[in-house]
């Protein structure tokens, strides 16, 4: 693979509902000039088709580099691979649990584990509700390990006019956690809400 000066972001799509979040994260990376490295779990391939009508190959085509779920020797499985961090969008409970235990059975969870050990941002858009105590304890464990739990909660203050705008606002706020500012995000005190004095 050729060397690049572009920032890189690893994007994982697990089998939870909400595959559109991962797809839009890839689109955002392209808009921002960020090199995206995608890994899709086997379950996510089914969800992509059922929820978004998107074939695995089409999802992979949105990324700069697509890695196979079983390729644990891929570049993103190494701490020496330079990246801003990793976004798992959406993140299933199974994926979250694998990351929390460190018993990683796929490239997706291995890359997440490496992200944590290298002290890089790992943002998990956990998609589940309601949550039982085991789920909550796993989230606490991950937060203690350095992960950021960022459920895809709709931002009604942004007054989205469509589902697409709601998804983009959520994805954009997740990208903020990597220091990436995506144009569709509407910000309080700037685009909406009270404007600061002197503005």
Q: Per-residue pLDDT tens for 173-194?
A: 999 999 999 999 999 988 888 7
Residue 2: pLDDT band with limits 50, 70, 90: very low
Give which of 1, 18, 5 is closest to 126, Cα–Cα.
18
Percent of the chain with pLDDT over 70: 95
Question: CA–CA separation, 4 vs 35, rounded Å?
Answer: 9
Tally of structural domains, the chain: 1
Per-residue pLDDT, 195: 60
Question: CA–CA separation, 168 vs 158, rounded Å?
Answer: 11
**What rounded mean pLDDT belongs to the chain?**
95
Question: CA–CA separation, 120 vs 127, rounded Å?
Answer: 22
Min mean pLDDT across 116-120, 153-157, 168-172, 173-177 is at 153-157
CB 68 within 8 A of CB 103: no
Per-residue pLDDT, 126: 98
* 199 within some domain: no
Print the domain residue range for 161.
Answer: 8-176
Structure tokens at 187: 């910000």
* 123 within some domain: yes
Residue 81: pLDDT band with limits 50, 70, 90: very high
* 190 within some domain: no
* 3 within some domain: no
Number of CB atoms found within 10 A of residue 19's CB: 26
* 135 within some domain: yes
* 198 within some domain: no
Structure tokens at 191: 């685009």
In this predicted structure, the answer to whether residue 197 has a pLDDT above a threshold of 90 is: no
Which spans in the chain are helix H? 19-32, 42-47, 56-61, 93-101, 107-117, 133-145, 163-176
Task: Give the residue carrying structure tokens 């697409």.
Answer: 164
Residue 144: pLDDT band with limits 50, 70, 90: very high
Report, as an integer, the average pLDDT of 5-15.
96
Task: Give the residue carrying structure tokens 């490496």.
Answer: 114
Q: How many residues does the chain have?
A: 199
Report, as an integer, the average pLDDT of 30-50.
97
Residue 132: pLDDT band with limits 50, 70, 90: very high
The enclosing domain of 18 has a CATH number of 3.40.50.1950
* 188 within some domain: no
In this predicted structure, the answer to whether residue 32 has a pLDDT above a threshold of 50 is: yes
* 184 within some domain: no
Q: What share of the chain is helix, strand, coil (3-state, %, to 5)?
A: 40, 15, 45
The pLDDT tens digits for 83-99 are: 999 999 999 999 999 99
Per-residue pLDDT, 3: 56
Distance separating the N- and C-terminal Cα atoms of the chain: 46
Per-residue pLDDT, 5: 84
């Amino acid at each position: 693979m050729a060397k690049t000066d572009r920032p890189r972001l690893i994007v994982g799509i697990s089998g939870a509902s909400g595959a559109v979040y991962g797809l839009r994260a890839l689109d955002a990376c392209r808009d921002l000039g960020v090199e995206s490295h995608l890994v899709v779990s086997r379950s996510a391939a089914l969800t992509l088709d059922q929820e978004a009508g998107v074939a695995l190959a089409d999802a992979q085509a949105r990324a700069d580099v697509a890695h196979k779920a079983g390729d644990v020797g891929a570049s993103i499985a190494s701490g020496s691979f330079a990246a801003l961090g990793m976004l798992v969008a959406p993140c299933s409970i199974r994926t979250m649990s694998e990351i929390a235990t460190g018993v990683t059975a796929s490239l997706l969870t291995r890359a997440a584990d490496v992200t944590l050990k290298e002290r890089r941002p790992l943002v998990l858009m956990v998609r589940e509700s309601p949550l039982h105590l085991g789920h909550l304890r796993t989230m606490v464990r991950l937060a203690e390990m350095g992960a950021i739990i960022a459920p895809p909660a709709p931002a009604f203050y942004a007054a989205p006019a469509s589902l697409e705008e709601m998804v983009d606002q959520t994805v954009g706020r997740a990208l903020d956690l990597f220091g990436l500012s995506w144009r569709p995000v509407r910000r309080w005190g700037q685009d909406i809400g009270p404007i600061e004095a002197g503005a």
